[in-house]
Amino acid sequence: MRNGVTNVLIVGVGGQGVILASEMLSAVALRSGLDVKKSEVHGMSQRGGVVTSHVRFGGKVHSPLIPSGEADVILGFELAESLRWVHQLAEGGKIIANSQRLVPPITATGKFSYPGDVIERIRARAPQAKIIDAIGIATELGNPRLVNTILLGVLSKSLDLDEKIWLEVVEKMAPKGTGEINRKAFLEGRSR
């Protein structure tokens, strides 16, 4: 945190729900009475490309982009993507990495391969990295679609935002009829 601004970088692959997660985090910050800016580049994201979303909140936010090396928290929806962005972590920053691996089709050319030691390499950079099997937890809760909310729950532990407001936003933004299960998923994530 620099100048009273908290920087959260959310990363993943197109279609994983990165944008929705950053949308919810921003809504929580807004409801908490903070200034907030959020930035991502859409366009190619639907086509399986890299997606990053910058969320910044605090007293007064100017640039919508997090300066290099100033991410207080990185939330990675995919392991190779967490590795791609881990160098943006600020000193003392935290990284939360979903353990899902999405192998891009480019590996079929034989020129690139998915890093087998991806977790070790994340840990080498950020020893306290939290690796979360969100799909496993979601399956236990009975719905693989809950990954997003579980990861937000884990993220919420690293941020100074009110649990009550988080729950309001999670319930409000969840698809109709899934408020209760999303609440449960959030709290499950928060307990990890």
Partner 1 sequence: MEMLLSGNEALARGVYEYGGEFASAYPGTPSTEILQTIAQFFKDEIYAEWAINEKVALEVAVGASYGGARAIAAMKHVGVNVAADPLMSLTYTGVGAGLILVSADDPSLHSSQNEQDNRCYGKFASIPVLEPSDSQEAKDFVGAAFEISERFDTPVMLRVTTRISHSKGIVTIGERSTAERGGFERNIEKYVMVPAHAIKRHKLVIERLENLKEFAEQTPLNRIEWNDREVGIVTGSIAYQHAREALPGASILKLGLGYPLPMKKIADFASKVGRLFVVEELEPFYEEQIAAAGITVEGKKFFSNFLELDVDRVRDGFIEAGVLEPAAKAPTSAAEPEQVLPRPPVLCPGCPHRGMLVSLRNAKVLTTGDIGCYTLGALPPLSQIDTCLCMGASIGHTFGIEKAGKTGKPVVALIGDSTFLHSGITALASAVYNRTRSTYIIVDNRITAMTGGQDHPGTARTLMGEKTHAIDLVRLVKALGVEHVRVVDPYDLEETSAALREEIERDAPSVIITNRPCMLFPKKIAQAPYAVDAAVCTACGACFRVGCPSISASSETNEKGRPKAQIDASTCTGCTICAQVCPADAIGPAAAE
Taking residues 171 to 190 in sequence order and writing x for each that binds partner 1 by CB under 8 A, - otherwise, the string is --------------------
List the end-to-end C-alpha distance of the chain, in Å, as a whole number. Answer: 23
Side-chain half-sphere of 81: how many Cα atoms within 13 Å?
Answer: 28
- Tokens describing residue 88: 């943006």
The least CB distance from residue 167 to partner 1, in Å, is: 19
Q: Is there binding between residue 8 and partner 1 (CB under 8 A)? A: no
Interface with partner 1 (CB under 8 A), residue total 54
Q: Is there binding between residue 38 and partner 1 (CB under 8 A)? A: yes
33 three-class SS: coil
Q: Strand pairing partners for 40?
A: 53
H helix runs in the chain, sequence order: 18-31, 79-85, 118-125, 134-141, 147-157, 163-173, 179-190
- Window 115-154: residues binding partner 1 (CB under 8 A): 115, 121, 125
The least CB distance from residue 192 to partner 1, in Å, is: 25
Candidates 61-69, 154-162, 165-173, 181-189; binding stretch for partner 1 (CB under 8 A): 61-69
Q: Is the dihedral of CA 43, 170, 98, 93 positive or negative?
A: positive
**Which of 2, 139, 142, 180 is in the footprint of partner 1 by CB under 8 A?**
2
Binding site for partner 1 (CB under 8 A): 2-3, 13-14, 26-27, 30, 35-44, 46-50, 61-65, 67-70, 80-81, 83-84, 86-91, 103-109, 112-115, 121, 125
